Every structure is written in C-alpha cells, then in structure tokens.
Amino acid sequence: MKKSLASGIEQYIKVLIARSESGQIEIQRVELAETFACVPSQVSYVLSTRFSQEDGYIVETRRGGQGYIRITEVRKETGNLDDKLLRFLNEVQAKKLLKPRETEMLKSIMLNVGAGLPAEYKSRVYQGFAAALRKYLNKGG
C-alpha cells in the first residue's frame, strides 16, 4: 500500500521536530512543497489534519517576505513546561474548580502564548499564570 503524499510530509515534519532540541521547528511552506513536488496548499492540508492542537502541536505562521510556519510540539516528558502547565490545569479541573470548556480554553490560550516566547520567559509567564489562577479561584471566582 502506497503511502500518501500527506503522510510523507507528516513524517518528514515529525522527524524534523524529533531532531530539534527545542521541539520547535520553522519551515517555509513553498520550500517544503518543493521538496515533495506538490502544491503549497498540500502543506497547509497536512498541518490542519495532523498538527492540530488536539494532536499536541501549536502552529504559528507569518506571511510576507521571509514568512514562516513554526510548529511547536507540546511534549509529554515530565519536567517540560508545557506538560507541567497541562497537568496543573487538569488537576484544577478535577477539583471541579473549572468547567471543561474553561479548562480547554485556558490550555489553548496559554500554550499558544508560550509557543511565542523564548524559554526563559515562558517559565516565568506560566508560573505567573498558575499563581494568578489560584488566586482567582480562591476568591471564589
């Protein structure tokens, strides 16, 4: 059974991410399309079907000259900032302090905020967020 073009691109991206120390890569849509000899929108298709937030990835893009597509893997290793944040929010939700929709919203927002920050600030912002959320919940928000 022949692998689809989409799967090929998917694998390729995943290898790139695996090889990166940071779990984050930047690609150019046209370049990747050229590599696979396909139209650029094919890359968009792969990103939307296999690198969604539910799949554990954050995708940020920039248009114009020197534009890029940045893909960040939200890793599951303990000690990882993103993972810590997710576990924290899960705990909070388990205590019925947040509704599911609220939890999902906060996860989505904070992971996206974090993806755009250099690591040294990400930690700080996440910690500030956790403190702020605790404070909010304690006040009987």
For the record, the structure tokens of 106 come out as 């906060």
Sign of CA dihedral 3, 8, 14, 18: positive
Of 1-9, 14-22, 32-40, 74-82, which part binds a copy of itself (CB under 8 A)? 1-9
Question: Using CB under 8 A, which residues numbered 4 to 33 contact a copy of itself?
Answer: 4-5, 7, 26
According to the 3-state scheme, what is the secondary structure of 78-89? CCCHHHHHHHHH
Identified binder of a copy of itself from the candidate list 12, 36, 45, 68, rule CB under 8 A: 68
Q: Which is nearer to DNA, 1 or 100 (CB)?
A: 1
Long-range contacts of 29-34 (CB under 8 A, 24+ apart): 29/67, 29/69
Counting contacts by CB under 7 A, is residue 64 touching DNA? Answer: yes
Identified binder of a copy of itself from the candidate list 75, 93, 104, 123, rule CB under 8 A: 104
Residue 108 interaction partner, one of a copy of itself, DNA, none, beta carbon < 5-8 Å per kind? a copy of itself
Q: For residue 67, which of 43, 49, 96 has the smallest C-alpha distance?
A: 43
The interaxial angle of helices 5-19 and 40-50, nearest 10 deg, is 70
Chain residues in the site for a copy of itself (CB under 8 A)? 1-5, 7, 26, 53, 64-66, 68, 101-102, 104-105, 108-113, 116-117, 121, 124-125, 128-129, 131-133, 135-136, 139, 141
